[in-house]
Amino acid sequence: APLEMIERYSADAVRYWAASTGTGKDAVISEEKIQMGARLVTKLWNVARFSETFLKDYIPQQPGAPAPQFTPADRWIMARIQQLIRYATRLLQEYDYAAAKSETENFFWRDLADNYLEMCKQRLYGEAGPLREGARYALHLVLLNTLKLFAPFLPYVTEEIYQGLFAAGGE
């Protein structure tokens, strides 16, 4: 039963399953899909916890801070999030929620978590300066927009992360 699944996994995990089926199609409750949603929620928390070290109280391009210097990896991830925003927005306008969720999830796992975080870790942990600022700027931009794209599907975890990392900056 859905309430049992919410208790076992989370409301966001059950919403994830519910948003996985196209509008007007019947969907049998799938514990496997709900578990996938729970894994996504956990990974989002983990990425946010990792990012918190570098983004807590971060305000992009604050006066006096070094100007960001972007690497090809930074430019790539920022271009990818812009593509995703345009595409997911169009899908949502067309009421294709399942595709918008799927595209956002693919971006999050493959581009952000598996690739970009690995590419920018060394600079994030490195000494202050333009290259570190570039990584912080890109991570801030991409994580904030990823949360916004996930918000219709995972409202609880995205709100919690947003309040913890971004709300103070007034974004």
Helix axes 155-165, 130-150, angle to 10 degrees: 150
From 70, 122, 5, select the one nearest 18 (Cα to Cα).
Answer: 5
- Note the pLDDT of residue 82: 98
- Note the pLDDT of residue 39: 86
Task: Kindly give the parts of the chain with pLDDT less than 70.
Answer: 1-3, 5-6, 8-31, 34, 169-171
- Note the pLDDT of residue 21: 65
Q: Output the pTM of the full model.
A: 0.85
Rounded to an integer, what distance in angstroms lies between the CA atom of residue 171 and that of residue 169? Answer: 6
Percent share of the chain, pLDDT over 90: 57
* Residues 5-22: tens digit of each pLDDT: 667 666 666 666 666 666
- Note the pLDDT of residue 128: 87
- Return the half-sphere exposure (C-beta side, CA atoms, 13 A cut-off) of residue 63: 0
- Note the pLDDT of residue 118: 95
Rounded to an integer, what distance in angstroms lies between the CA atom of residue 18 and that of residue 34? Answer: 9
